[in-house]
Amino acid sequence: MNYTTQMDAAKKGIITPEIRKVAEKENIQIELLRERVAKGTVAIPANKNHKSLNPEGIGEGLRTKINVNLGISKDCCDVEKEFDKVKLAIDMKAEAIMDLSCYGKTEEFRKKLIDYSPAIIGTVPMYDAVGFYDKELKDLTADDLFRVVEKHAQDGVDFMTIHAGMNLETADIFKRNPRLGGIVSRGGSILYAWMELNGQENPFFEQYDRLLNICQEYDVTLSLGDACRPGAIEDSTDPSQIKELMTLGELTKRAWEKNVQVMIEGPGHMAINEIQANMMLEKKLCHGAPFYVLGPIVTDVAPGYDHITSAIGGAIAAANGADFLCYVTPAEHLRLPDIDDMKEGIIASKIAAHAGDIGKGIKGAREWDNKMSKARNNLDWEEMFKLCIDEEKARRYRESSMPEDEKTCTMCGKMCAVRNMNKVMEGKNINILREDD
């Protein structure tokens, strides 16, 4: 039986190789996964032209996935250095990579990335449009924008961020409700500017069926972008954000009618006490579609530490239903991240995702922690290292400061609670000041 997309196959009762693979990875019943893909609450981004893909599922009942942003810019356009980041992201088992390249040989970098990467690949075609045509923003036509989308789809991009919810109505809401931080989405701001400069409706909203036809042909998952995501905690959950989210919910249903998979992108900067409500709103307004969040970053005052502020928000978001976390590095708001920044961001995001999985009861999530707890109780350092989210750092820290009693660490030495409880529970003597018997 023929099918056009993963969703089309799932609706027809077909178990695709991608559905089978994801079911094995997630230890979930194949039929249950198929039902969720058919319903739209799980997406399996898998472009027909991405031949090196090792598929992942994003959504209801599955592990929280993480995305790594990278790509060349005018100020940092070393392709080889940027590809070193690709290799690191894959080595660290990030499930997705977004190529946000916006200058120079974007096509060359994108094709190399797709050929190499087993991870899901995403892009924002709007970033590429100005450079692709060597035209100023005002001079780009709707046809120009759609040709870039189709080129990315042909190249094998698995999911694309398209800011289709930034329409004239949303723009009017934004104008009537001034923000402290304005519009901070790069793609959203570019589209808003294009609309203002040309006095026209957003082509991706106005010709939405044309966009869906491209996605359907190549099985591109549509990541409906949040042009009005808050860039300051003061702006979160405001009329612009909620109006756009309502529009995205309507666009989600239209995409599903054409068997196009959808993810919804979300905040952004957000006060910690608003995160739970925002997760509920997205799931309600967007009919349970997978939710992809940047952070949320829970305070605006920590440049250099935004991998921490986002991990705090990401853990809360994931525990309350977010399905996909975009990593944030210490370089956020400051510069393009380097390799060390990337590693810090990936680790922070993986911690947040795993903490969220424990909170929402994902099958098997606690087992990892329970194994670590057992190893700690046994003072089995080798097993602890193997279970670490970052084995290299854990080993380096321990080896930099070794205790007299090799079973303990230099924090407590022979006063180690675990050491002494193990001994006393075994009926042994505890020597703290002298050598053991």
What residue numbers does the annotated binding site for Zn(2+) cover? 269, 333
User: Amino acid letter at 277?
Assistant: A
Q: For the CA atoms of 226, 196, 137, 50, what is the dihedral angle to 10 degrees?
A: 30
**Phi and psi (nearest 5°) for 224?**
-70, 110
The binding site consists of: 69, 98, 127, 163, 185-187, 226-229, 265, 269, 292, 333, 409, 412, 416
CB 291 within 8 A of CB 263: yes
CB 174 within 8 A of CB 241: no
Structural tokens at position 316 = 């809360």
Query: Taking Cα atoms as reference points, which of 259, 291, 263 lies closest to residue 278?
Result: 291
Query: Taking Cα atoms as reference points, which of 351, 271, 286 lies closest to residue 319?
Result: 351
User: How far is Cα 76 from Cα 86, in angstroms, rounded to an integer?
Assistant: 15
- Could you list the beta-strand ranges (E) of 320-437: 324-326
Query: Taking Cα atoms as reference points, which of 90, 146, 92, 132 lies closest to residue 113?
Result: 90
Structural tokens at position 47 = 């472009």
User: How far is Cα 264 from Cα 294, in angstroms, rounded to an integer?
Assistant: 11
Residue 26: CA atoms inside 13 Å, Cβ hemisphere, count? 28
Which helix H or strand E contains 394, and what residues bound it?
Answer: helix 391-399
Supply the DSSP symbol for 406: T
Tell me how far apart the 2 most distant CA atoms of the chain are, in Å.
86
The binding site for [4Fe-4S] cluster consists of: 409, 412, 416
CB 97 within 8 A of CB 119: yes
CB 215 within 8 A of CB 257: no
Structural tokens at position 212 = 């869906």
Angle, alpha carbons 428-429-432 (nearest 5°): 135
CA–CA distance from 338 to each of 79, 318, 341, 409 (Å)? 13, 26, 5, 32
